[in-house]
A and B are shown apart, each in its own frame.
Chain A
Amino acid sequence: MSASVNRAAYVFIAPALLILAGTSLYPAIYSFVLSFFNWNWGVQFDFIGLRNYSDLLGSAEFWQVLYQTFLFAVAATGLELLLGLGLAVVVDRLGFGAGIIRTLLLTPLMVSGIIVALMSKILLDPMLGFVNYLLVSLGLPPSPFFGTTATAMSTIIMVDAWWQTAFVFIIVLAGLQSLAQEPIEAARVDGANSLQIFLRVKLPMLRGVLFTVLIFRTIDTLKVFDIIFGTTGGGPQIATEVMQTFAYRKAFSFLQMSEAMTVMVIFSTIVLLICLLYMRLESRLEKA
């Protein structure tokens, strides 16, 4: 009996295993193996040991790109968490019209990253864009936005916040609405005001949800590609280049295939370590 049950388990899971082997396991191993070779899409194909790694880790460009990737991820995740949480708390208080407001607030999640990118290029055009027009008519200085190394990264962070805050918002809102009511009522009876109730009662109860959202947004922002590809393409110079645009450029503009794969092997290791770190923290959080 148990043998046949087991067989069914494997038969049912086999197609998924096969597809995942083809789309993720094989490519990951391929990338890893090729990272020890020198291959630029030609006939030349040499084993070079750790040369790709030492070249990359020894280049200032690589470290700048890695730093920028993290700068973007930390800033965008932080901003989105803050805005999303605030928005969820506010919308949770609404009565009439809450449904339609929620629907409208969710629309950015339906919009493709490349469209978000092009849309922001139109709105944030330094000369003809609506936002600079608005800034000037309010007596504020206009901004070059994507145009200079000093402003490009913060502009992209802002664009990502427009795009993905809704994700944090909807999940935290659902979390808020499914909280147990007794502790909240008890605090209210004790005379706590809404700020105190939020900080001392609701926020601690939301810890798990916020942590999940934090993981999702961190990983997703580390992997950013479309909104940078569609706006600055990594520029000006390499001021907004991040790991994924870096690998894309190496592979598809310069055909430095093995080097691009090395970039991804290093970056994947970093992402993996962050996942492990978060899992560790999460299990500690649950015990606490």
Chain B
Amino acid sequence: MAALRRDQLERALAYLISLAATLLTVFPILWLLTVSLKSQRDAFAVPPKLVFEPIADHFLGLLDKPGFVEAFRNSVIVTALGVAIAIVIAIFAAYSIHRFRFRGKQLFGVWLLLAYMLPEFLFIIPLFVLYQRIGWYDSHIGLAFAYQAHSLPFAVWLIRSFFREVPLELDDASRIDGCHHLGTLRHVYIPMAAPGIAATAILTAIWIWNELTIALSLTFSEAQTITVAVASFRGYTSINWGGMAAASVVAVLPMLLFAVVAQKYIVKGLTLGSLKG
């Protein structure tokens, strides 16, 4: 009886802590949303106004802010391009590592790890110099390419761990049917690992969409991404909270919607890599 009471008490406590943590997590995002809908006077009011008349001015203002709409479009293009390159190339590389023994395989693994782990600016400053010379500075392709130092190792690593879950008998069966490697990849591995590949693509897309460091260094106006556009608000914080909040909401909304729709995949991708190593 005492044990039961204790169990109930523990569970009640667990709910209390979880709810407090959830509130702490969600509150800043909701607050940002309210600031984006407040007039300047309401946003600066002390004590803070919880009830206010919402206005759409800050969102409409973004349409007139030079380059903001283009920045959103650039982010869509660069994200699509970056994910496509990473996934297609990683599928082949992952198959190669999974299926074959070859010289240099271990070295390749170490290289992947290093490209993923080493600080961005080791790669970005030289790429900045290179891009200035070959005309890739401030271009979609240049940025999508630079992202591969991070995205490609991540995708290879994750897709490979999904390939490992494909039963070997299926692989053997397709080989007996006379399939070449391309056929086995196409008819066995890709369909079997499709949910895993989707999870990888989603996580890569989220990473690229949210990335600032590389975009800030390698773009200027033509290919400027949404995070760089949002960052341009940081100078005059005290003047334009509304614009800053509205821009942030526009930038974060696609990812939050994404997260709701694809949560299962996201959790799968995030956890598989670290649990199975």
Contacts and interface: CB of A to CB of B under 8 A. Distances in A.
B29 to A, nearest CB: 6
B18 to A, nearest CB: 5
A199 interface: no
Interface string A98-120: 00010111111111111101111
Given A13-B96, A20-B149, A108 B119 contact: no
Contacts of B93: 12-13, 15-16
A63 B212 CA distance: 26
Contact of B123 (A9, A27, A112, A219): A27
Contacts of A121: 234, 237
A272 interface: yes
A252 B217 contact: yes
Contact of B212 (A9, A31, A90, A114): A114
Interface in B1-45: 6, 10-11, 14-15, 17-19, 21-22, 24-26, 28-29, 31-32, 35, 43-44
Interface in B84-138: 85, 89-90, 92-93, 95-97, 99-102, 108, 111-115, 117-130
A23 B146 contact: yes
B259 interface: yes
A108 B206 CA distance: 12
B256 A251 contact: no
Contact of A230 (B153, B231, B258): B231
Interface stretch (B59-67, B191-199, B268-276): B268-276
B100 A122 contact: no
B125 A23 contact: no
Interface string B125-168: 11111100000000000000110110011001000000000000
B221 interface: no
B25 A225 contact: no
A243 B213 CA distance: 13
B15 A94 contact: yes
A267 B120 CA distance: 11
A5 B11 CA distance: 57
A91 B16 CA distance: 10
A207 B13 CA distance: 26
Contacts of A28: 118, 122-123, 126
Contacts of A119: 28-29, 31-32, 245, 248
A8 B210 contact: no
A244 B120 contact: yes
B92 A216 contact: no
Contacts, number: 281
Chain B contact residues: helix, strand, loop or mixed: helix
Q: How large is the interface on A (under 10, 10 to 19, 20 to 34, 35 or more residues)?
A: 35 or more
A16 B89 contact: yes
Contact of A268 (B19, B35, B108, B118): B118
Q: How large is the interface on B (under 10, 10 to 19, 20 to 34, 35 or more residues)?
A: 35 or more
Interface in B191-243: 206, 209-213, 216-217, 227, 230-231, 233-234, 237-238, 241
What 5 pairs between A and B have smallest CB-CB spacing? A9-B100, A112-B210, A16-B93, A12-B96, A27-B126
Interface of A: 5-6, 8-10, 12-13, 15-17, 19-20, 22-28, 30-31, 34, 86-87, 90-91, 93-95, 97, 101, 103-115, 117-123, 125, 128, 130, 133, 137, 162, 166-167, 170-171, 174-175, 178, 193-194, 209, 212-213, 216, 219, 222-223, 225-226, 229-230, 243-244, 247-248, 251-252, 257, 260-261, 263-265, 267-268, 271-272, 275
24 contacts: A10-B96, A15-B93, A19-B145, A19-B152, A20-B152, A24-B118, A31-B123, A31-B125, A87-B18, A103-B263, A110-B252, A111-B255, A112-B211, A112-B251, A122-B241, A123-B28, A125-B238, A128-B43, A171-B270, A178-B275, A212-B274, A261-B126, A264-B119, A264-B121
